[in-house]
Amino acid sequence: MDVMETRSTITVLVPCYNEQESLPQLFERMDRLIQTSTDLSYTLLFVDDGSTDNTRQLIRNYSDSHSYSEFIFLSRNFGKEKAMYAGIENVYTDGLVIIDADLQDPPELIPEMVKLWRQGYDDVYARRKSRRGESWLKKATSRWYYDILQQVSGIAIQKDTGDFRLLDRKCIDALKRLDESERNSKALFSWIGFKKIEFLYDRDKRAAGKTKWNYLKLIHLAIDGITSFTTLPLKIATWAGSLVSFIAVVYAVVVLIRTLAFGVDVPGYASTLIVVLILGGAQLLSLGIIGEYLGRVFMQTKNRPIYLIEEEKINKND
């Protein structure tokens, strides 16, 4: 099949943020992989997302002695999403693998992903069989979240999947066109479509260093996922508002008739307070929801570049 012949070069994109502890191990394992590969030409692309430790020096040294290693250093910490976009915009090979610097995604699986790619699949995404080292709460909340997201967005969302995947040129070009500033890769990978296939693996523990995630960031990402997939929360606000207005009108009529028939009755403090509180809460919530979307519009209309590069070593001809 001629698909085989055109699928011969691949870039491994590694976003890094303060990864000095894991990088030496990553270099070693990637080297071993690249040296044993016969029918595939590798490029390593490190995107440093504003590290403040020794990460940049390690990458620079490694790239000096390894011709297949390239790098982009961003001008500050932009977040993994934007760091990945910086990488995606600078891929010149037939395929792209995105992998974490902390070796939670074993690079040794790449050849197996390549096999599937060469069978004609465009997006070979790795799905975790197990999530070792993650708490019960994290697993459960993540499952619920994606179930809901899938329901409300109507787009098939890959569960237990991170950014570890092999993307064909078609997908890379598609992703390059999605230049929105508020990025949610999971949404984007699902949105582009193409021939997808899952690939089961065991996600390892972080090799070294600390995760940059915390619950606050996760909640942020979760809200981001919903607002970038669907405008349903806005509709819910409208429906809830309409329902409450309707009930209010009915209640007003009841109160009016009762007052006319039986005269003014003073007690009613509790019911008044409840209504005021519920309405106030609903209004604030709706405002918040509108604010989330408006914020996205605001960020996008500023039309700023998604990231800025401070230093790079990219070979555009391969």
Q: Contact residues for ligand UDP (CB under 6 A)? A: 15-17, 19, 49, 77, 79-80, 83, 100-102, 104, 211-213
Side-chain-side CA neighbours of residue 302 (13 Å): 10
Considering the complex, what minimum distance in angstroms separates the CB of residue 251 from ligand UDP?
A: 49
The one of ligand UDP, Mg ion, none whose footprint includes residue 10, by CB under 5 to 8 A per kind, is none
Considering the complex, what minimum distance in angstroms separates the CB of residue 256 from ligand UDP?
A: 58
At residue 166, φ and ψ (nearest 5 deg) are: -110, 125
Give 72's strand partners.
47, 312
Distance CA(159)–CA(198), nearest Å, equals 10
Distance CA(84)–CA(98), nearest Å, equals 8
Considering the complex, what minimum distance in angstroms separates the CB of residue 211 from ligand UDP?
A: 3
Considering the complex, what minimum distance in angstroms separates the CB of residue 107 from Mg ion?
A: 14
The one of ligand UDP, Mg ion, none whose footprint includes residue 107, by CB under 5 to 8 A per kind, is none
Compute the chain's Rg from CA coordinates.
Answer: 25
Considering the complex, what minimum distance in angstroms separates the CB of residue 106 from Mg ion?
A: 12
Considering the complex, what minimum distance in angstroms separates the CB of residue 103 from Mg ion?
A: 9
Options 53-61, 73-81, 95-103, 249-257: segment touching Mg ion (CB under 5 A): 95-103
- Closer by beta carbon to ligand UDP, 16 or else 149: 16
Give 15's strand partners.
47
Considering the rule CB under 5 A, would residue 102 count as an interface residue with Mg ion? yes
Nearest Cα to Cα of residue 167 among 143, 149, 185 = 185
Considering the rule CB under 5 A, would residue 69 count as an interface residue with Mg ion? no
Considering the rule CB under 5 A, would residue 93 count as an interface residue with Mg ion? no
Side-chain-side CA neighbours of residue 2 (13 Å): 0
- Closer by beta carbon to ligand UDP, 23 or else 174: 23
What is the residue whose two structure tokens read 């009529």? 253
Site for Mg ion in 229-288 (CB under 5 A): none
Instruction: Report how many residues bind Mg ion under the rule CB under 5 A.
Output: 3
Considering the complex, what minimum distance in angstroms separates the CB of residue 298 from Mg ion?
A: 31
Q: Which of 51, 104, 161, 184 binds Mg ion (CB under 5 A)?
A: 104
- Closer by beta carbon to Mg ion, 91 or else 103: 103
Nearest Cα to Cα of residue 81 among 12, 146, 13 = 13
Distance CA(164)–CA(107), nearest Å, equals 10
Alpha helix ranges (H) inside the chain = 2-6, 23-36, 55-65, 80-88, 110-118, 136-153, 169-177, 185-192, 215-229, 232-262, 269-302
- Closer by beta carbon to ligand UDP, 159 or else 212: 212
Question: Which positions lie near Mg ion, rule CB under 5 A?
Answer: 100, 102, 104
